[in-house]
Amino acid sequence: MNFDIIRTGRAVLHVTDIEKSKKFYDALGFIITETDDNQIFLRGLEEHNHHSLLLKQRETPALEVISYRVKSEEDLEQLATKLQKDGNEIKWLQEGEQKGLGRAFRYQDISGLPVEFYHHMDRVDRKLQQYDLYKGAKVQRIDHFNCMVSDVEKAHNYYINEFGFACSEYTTGEEDKIWASWLHRKPSVHDVAYMNGPGPRLHHIGFWLKDPMSLIDGCDVLASIGYAPNIERGPGRHGLSNAFFLYLRDPDGHRIELYNGDYFTGDPDFEPIRWELDDPLRQTFWGHEAPDCWFEEATEVLNVLTNEKVQTQAAKLKKRKPTFVI
């Protein structure tokens, strides 16, 4: 494998009211890098890149793309060449076509998800020690994507064998098939997770917090300004990954996870942790279940070539309500 994918980089979401979105994400404690009438570029306090979340004003909510950063421009070229040789159609975006971003390319991955790879993103000042800017949940950085796909095992195998991802934890269902999978490039639990369900859809984007109290502070701030109904699940602790979590729905229904406390996975002898679907320990560690909407609802995704919504496919494995997905 002659290319190096570093980590989760950014996501681009379509929203229907840019001002409502701005108010919500500002309350969470994101830094607004730039904004205009039609888009908002957001980042966490410790991030020195231009943005990790881009919101675009459109008529209907959707995921435009999820993006991974690669180590160099050479890696970008080699990855594009590999994907084209494998029969994938890619779309190049040259430097200057996307604000803050260098050359990038997009394609529809093996699950039908819109995926982008890039190397360069403009640098900006980190706000890590500007404590006067800390508010809400004090969001630090983007951490991961969670995607609902119709064939988890296919996505799992492809990202490991073709892109060099590693598995930290996975869940098996009927016939010993993979029901959910957590994959990483950076040495944490995941850069991307896949869960069984009608897909392709985006289940959530996870953002890292500095400590569990930041999550509680975020709840207090949201509730005090009228966003209590946007708190969908949590606070709680996941059995899988051991992470402290909170799930929110933004004004357009996009799901955001605030996240803290997983573990290091970078040792060469690390072995993936297997969970049985019916193992009670895989559930939320404190015992409370996820609401049905958390399992049923997710963001539709777009085709990178046509900008039309991708039709979802039924899940390959039996549909069962999870209470542990992170």
Please, what are the domains in the chain?
Answer: 5-118 (3.10.180.10), 136-300 (3.10.180.10)
Whole-angstrom Cα distance, residue 311 to residue 86? 23
How many CA atoms lie within 13 Å of 95's alpha carbon, on the beta-carbon side?
6
Q: Which residue has the tokens 């949201």?
A: 222
Q: Is the peptide bond before 61 cis (omega within 30 degrees of 0)?
A: no
Please give the structure tokens belonging to residue 116: 């982008």
Residue type, 230: N
Q: Under 8 Å CB-to-CB from 189, ≥6 apart: which residues?
A: 144, 168, 169, 182, 241, 243, 262, 263, 265, 326
This prediction has a pTM of 0.95
Please give the structure tokens belonging to residue 160: 């490991």
Nearest Cα to 36, choosing from 119, 100, 116?
Answer: 100
Other CB atoms within 10 Å distance of the CB of residue 20: 13
Residue type, 23: K
The per-residue pLDDT string of the chain (326 residues; one tens digit each, 9 = 90 and over) reads 789 999 999 999 999 999 999 999 999 999 999 999 899 999 999 999 999 999 999 999 999 999 999 999 999 999 999 999 999 999 999 999 999 999 999 999 999 999 999 999 999 999 999 999 999 999 999 999 999 999 999 999 999 999 999 999 998 877 788 999 999 999 999 999 999 999 999 999 999 999 999 999 999 999 999 999 999 998 988 867 888 999 999 999 999 999 998 999 999 999 999 987 766 655 666 667 778 888 899 999 999 999 999 999 999 987 666 544 44
DSSP state of 291: P
